[in-house]
């Protein structure tokens, strides 16, 4: 009798295991189907112009986080390539140097789409472009500008940037610009404009007229509130998460999130470790710091903390950015087999922020971004080749295909459509 009971128990366990395996397989198949069906858009990927030359470019599987082979492997359809300029002095000399940097990045993106790999990737300017390009089997590139500092004080330059393909611009980055205070002022409660400068207020109007989405991911809270008050069109946060879950000034608090909802905008949740889970990030970062330093030392490469970056010379910055992906790749490979390594911030932590914001402000106002090649990347979504893992986690949490499509870019394209429609109306008056 005991043997019979034991046998029944074993059969029951095996049966349950088979059912569980079948459920997991079904979930996996569903996730693959949805991932193949929806258009996946990542709204923030930084670039290094050295990866846009004839011998080294995005048609190759480089060590960086986003390139065409990795986009194809992960099923990422659209990459917003970023024209980023760091903050410097508010002088004509500073503006001129910044503009030169920005133009080199615009040139690089156009070269990729028009000369290097026109059969594989095309520049999109509208949501219709995105649908047409992705429908043709190609990848789409879009352009965002991180920090309007490079525009200087000539508002006519916003049209120049628009004509070059820019479809969103942030008025500040780390440090107060001529247009707007930055979130970084919060640390010492030191502000330059108490929100937007007069020039910044004019810039909001200019972007509305041109059909450029206003990005509030780096400006201060007060500046963001003023932008919403002034803008006739919805705005976006191109790469920000929920401050209620991770208390970082780069994230949006509940008041800001509600303002985004009322404005009709969208918050692109960012897969940036320190903006998702402070405790896990700090434990892992402290552990990895020594690993990266050892790797850099073994390669005879200078290694710096992010806090040191602004003090480096241009030559030091270029060398660091060139070596950064290589050191990270080797360091992460080394740590895989280290049993004492603290758990890394992962896709589950990322989707926790999506869940929170969807619950607070609704599915129509939340999206997805990575900040790849600019510090972003988490366990499970560390480069474009792992993009499917985000969809898989969303399916596991019960999101429908319709809602996953909204998160993966539908909401952002809706905002772009509205921004461009309002610009057209303003131009017709």
Q: What is the pLDDT of residue 315?
A: 85
Q: What is the pLDDT of residue 25?
A: 60
What's the number of domains the chain is made of?
Answer: 2
Per-residue CA distances from 80 to 103, 222, 226, 237 (Å): 16, 26, 26, 13
Residue 419 belongs to a domain? yes
Mean pLDDT, the chain, whole residue set: 93
Distance in angstroms (rounded) separating the CA atoms of residues 175 and 188: 12
Name the percent of the chain lying above pLDDT 90: 81
Q: What is the pLDDT of residue 18?
A: 47
Read off the CATH number of the domain in which 216 is found: 3.20.20.140
| Pairing status of strand 121-123 against strand 139-146 | parallel
pTM above the 0.85 mark? yes
Distance in angstroms (rounded) separating the CA atoms of residues 204 and 214: 7
The 10s digit of each residue's pLDDT in 275-317 is 999 999 999 989 988 899 889 899 998 888 777 877 888 888 8
> Is residue 116 located within the same domain as residue 213?
yes
Least trusted range by pLDDT, from 38-47, 180-189, 219-228, 356-365? 180-189
The 10s digit of each residue's pLDDT in 69-116 is 999 999 999 999 999 999 999 999 999 999 999 999 999 999 999 999
Distance in angstroms (rounded) separating the CA atoms of residues 416 and 428: 19
pLDDT at 10 over 50: no
Q: What is the pLDDT of residue 2?
A: 42
Contact assessment for residue 260 and residue 361, using Cβ atoms and an 8 Å cutoff: yes
Domain boundary among 324, 343, 362: 343
The 10s digit of each residue's pLDDT in 112-138 is 999 999 999 999 999 999 999 999 999
The 10s digit of each residue's pLDDT in 145-179 is 999 999 999 999 999 999 999 999 999 999 999 99
Distance of CA 194 to the CA centre of its chain: 27
Taking only Cα atoms into account, the Rg of the chain, rounded to an integer number of angstroms, comes to: 22
- Domain of residue 100: give its range: 29-277+345-428
Distance in angstroms (rounded) separating the CA atoms of residues 164 and 90: 24
Residue 18 belongs to a domain? no
Q: Within the chain, how many helices (H) and strands (E) appear? A: 14, 9
The 10s digit of each residue's pLDDT in 185-221 is 899 999 999 999 999 999 999 999 999 999 999 999 9
Contact assessment for residue 165 and residue 112, using Cβ atoms and an 8 Å cutoff: no
Residue 7 belongs to a domain? no
Domain boundary among 343, 373, 396: 343
């Amino acid at each position: 009798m005991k043997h019979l009971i034991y046998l029944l128990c074993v059969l029951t366990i095996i049966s349950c295991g088979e059912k569980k395996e079948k459920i997991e397989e079904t979930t996996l198949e569903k996730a693959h189907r949805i991932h193949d069906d929806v258009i996946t858009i990542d709204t923030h990927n930084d670039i290094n112009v050295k990866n846009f030359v004839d011998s080294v470019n995005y048609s190759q599987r480089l060590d960086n986080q986003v390139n065409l082979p990795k986009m194809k492997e992960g099923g990422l359809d659209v990459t917003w390539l970023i024209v980023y300029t760091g903050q410097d002095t508010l002088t004509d000399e500073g503006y001129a140097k910044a503009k030169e940097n920005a133009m080199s990045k615009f040139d690089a993106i156009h070269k990729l789409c028009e000369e290097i790999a026109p059969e594989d990737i095309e520049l999109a300017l509208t949501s219709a472009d995105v649908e047409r390009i992705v429908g043709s089997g190609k990848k789409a590139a879009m352009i965002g500008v991180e920090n309007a500092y490079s525009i200087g004080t000539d508002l006519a330059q916003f049209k120049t940037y628009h004509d070059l393909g820019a479809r969103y611009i942030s008025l500040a980055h780390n440090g107060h610009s001529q247009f707007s205070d930055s979130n970084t002022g919060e640390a010492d409660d030191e502000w330059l404009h108490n929100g937007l400068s007069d020039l910044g207020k004019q810039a909001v109007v200019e972007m509305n007229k041109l059909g450029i989405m206003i990005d509030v991911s780096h400006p201060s809270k007060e500046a963001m509130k003023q932008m919403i008050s002034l803008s006739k069109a919805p705005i976006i946060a191109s790469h920000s998460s929920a401050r209620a879950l991770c208390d970082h000034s780069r994230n949006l608090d509940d008041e800001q999130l509600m303002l985004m909802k009322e404005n009709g905008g969208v918050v692109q949740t960012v897969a940036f470790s320190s903006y998702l889970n402070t405790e896990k990030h700090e434990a892992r970062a402290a552990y990895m710091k020594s690993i990266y330093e050892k790797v850099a030392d073994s390669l005879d490469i200078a290694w710096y903390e992010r806090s040191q970056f602004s003090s480096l010379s241009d030559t030091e910055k270029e060398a660091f950015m060139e070596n950064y992906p290589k050191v990270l790749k080797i360091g992460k490979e080394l740590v895989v087999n280290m049993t004492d390594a603290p758990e890394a911030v992962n896709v589950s932590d990322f989707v926790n922020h999506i869940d929170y914001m969807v619950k607070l402000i609704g599915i129509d106002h939340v999206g997805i971004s990575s900040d790849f090649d600019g510090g972003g990347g988490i366990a499970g979504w560390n480069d474009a080749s792992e993009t499917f893992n985000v969809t898989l986690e969303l399916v596991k949490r019960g999101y429908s295909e319709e809602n996953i499509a909204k998160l993966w870019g539908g909401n952002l394209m809706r905002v772009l459509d509205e921004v461009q429609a309002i610009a057209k109306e303003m131009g017709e008056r």
